[in-house]
């Protein structure tokens, strides 16, 4: 999750309740200290120095940008006051934010997570006409690729791809966008699901192949995932409603340890088959996050590798059609 760093110490803010003037001094002192540390290095080349100087500046900008939100958190402000705190902070530090975002933007800084975190503010403050074309194309591509990873190559995403390709101005990013979508070619409906092994509650080692001849409805989840738990009752209700010899509902945990998985299942009764496997086993599934729902036919072929959530009526409609 690309995020710019911050020079602000929230815990310290909670203890000392500094003023905005104090915050400005604190941030600027930390910027100078970081810049001095960089100057003292004698083993770095020009490229490293260029992007590290940029990162320090973006971290500084993010520190000023974050003050309002941190202040709201420290003082436990309600929503309306939180928005006022954010706007007040942006207004007070506007010149500082502008100063630390005014570094000439070029393609060498695209590798920085910190850049992605503050890029939109950069554009809002300086205008698209002052941003290099490659950087604008990068941001468009980055956003859609992340969206692709979250949603999969569903019709909505494919349509958005055509819209983005139409506005990209560099062949480089058109190529990168097409390449990103190619990674999902083996996950489209009609393709054989990649091999996948897992462990059952009684310790048996099984694979998808063990269920050939059955329709598989799969929920990929984890005990630490709030949205997974929120969708689980819907999945389990369907598992009970459509229980039969032709269709199996499988919940695959990606917990890194069996202990929390087993402890959770001891307290929560499930209708679906419970299994666990390391997240690394999902490499070929392009698993960006959980929950993830998939439906396979009796031959282990994808009906939908990026099925809607069980709380969505569209999920049950797919099951009904089978």
pLDDT in tens, 137-176: 988 998 899 899 989 999 899 999 999 999 999 999 999 9
Among 43, 105, 111, 228, the active-site one is: 228
Using CA atoms, how far apart are residues 152 and 145, in angstroms rounded to an integer?
Answer: 10
Between CA 120 and CA 113 the distance in angstroms is 13
The answer to whether residue 43 is catalytic is no
C-alpha span between 322 and 56 (Å, rounded): 55
Token representation of residue 132: 């290099």
- CB atoms under 10 Å from CB of 252, counted, come to 22
291 by Cβ neighbours in 10 Å (0-12 / 13-18 / 19+) ranks as buried
Cα(56)–Cα(66) distance, integer angstroms: 15
225 tagged catalytic: yes
List of the chain residues with pLDDT < 50: 1-3
Look at residue 27 in the predicted model and tell me its pLDDT.
92
Segment 167-197, tens digit of pLDDT: 999 999 999 999 999 999 999 999 999 999 9
User: pTM for the complete prediction?
Assistant: 0.70
**How high is the pLDDT of residue 2?**
40
Q: Are 176 and 138 in contact (CB under 8 A)?
A: no
Confidence at residue 16, expressed as pLDDT on a 0 to 100 scale: 84
> Rounded CA gap, 120 and 256, in Å?
35
Q: Is 294 helix (H, G, I), strand (E, B) or coil?
A: strand
The region that residue 170 occupies, defined by phi over 0 for left and psi between -120 and 50 for alpha, beta otherwise, is beta
Q: What is the pLDDT of residue 113?
A: 74
Report d(CA 57, CA 44) in Å as an integer.
Answer: 18
Q: What is the pLDDT of residue 79?
A: 87
Spatial separation of the C-alpha atoms in residues 58 and 125, rounded to whole Å: 14
Quick check: helix, strand or coil at residue 265? helix
Question: In this structure, are residues 53 and 38 in contact, taking their beta carbons and an 8 Å threshold?
Answer: yes
Residue found under tokens 């956003």: 143
Cis before 103? omega within 30? no
């Amino acid at each position: 999750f690309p995020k710019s760093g911050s020079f602000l110490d929230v815990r310290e803010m909670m203890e000392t309740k500094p003023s905005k003037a104090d915050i400005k001094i604190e941030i600027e002192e930390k910027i100078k200290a970081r810049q001095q540390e960089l100057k003292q290095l004698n083993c770095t080349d020009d490229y490293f120095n260029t992007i590290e100087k940029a990162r320090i500046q973006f971290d500084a900008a993010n520190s000023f940008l974050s003050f309002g939100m941190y202040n709201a958190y420290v003082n436990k402000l309600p929503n309306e006051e939180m928005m006022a705190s954010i706007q007040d902070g942006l207004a007070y530090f506007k010149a500082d934010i502008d100063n630390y975002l005014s570094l000439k933007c070029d393609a060498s800084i695209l590798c920085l997570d910190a850049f992605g975190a503050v890029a939109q503010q950069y554009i809002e403050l300086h205008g698209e006409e002052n941003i290099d074309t490659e950087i604008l194309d990068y941001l468009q591509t980055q956003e859609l690729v992340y969206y692709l990873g979250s949603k999969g190559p569903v019709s909505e995403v494919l349509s958005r791809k055509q819209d983005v390709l139409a506005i990209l101005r560099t062949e480089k990013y058109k190529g990168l966008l097409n390449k990103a979508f190619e990674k999902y070619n083996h996950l489209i409906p009609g393709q054989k699901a990649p091999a996948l092994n897992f462990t059952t509650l009684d310790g048996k080692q099984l694979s998808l192949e063990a269920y050939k001849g059955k329709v598989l409805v799969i929920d990929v989840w984890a005990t630490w995932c709030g949205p997974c738990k929120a969708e689980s009752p819907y999945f389990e209700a369907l598992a009970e409603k459509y229980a039969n010899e032709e269709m199996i509902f499988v919940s695959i945990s990606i917990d890194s340890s069996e202990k929390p998985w087993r402890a959770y299942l001891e307290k929560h009764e499930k209708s679906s088959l419970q299994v666990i496997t390391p997240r690394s086993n999902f490499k070929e599934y392009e698993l960006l996050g959980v929950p993830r729902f998939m439906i396979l036919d009796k031959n282990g072929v994808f009906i939908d590798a990026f099925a809607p959530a069980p709380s969505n009526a569209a999920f049950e409609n797919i099951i009904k059609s089978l």
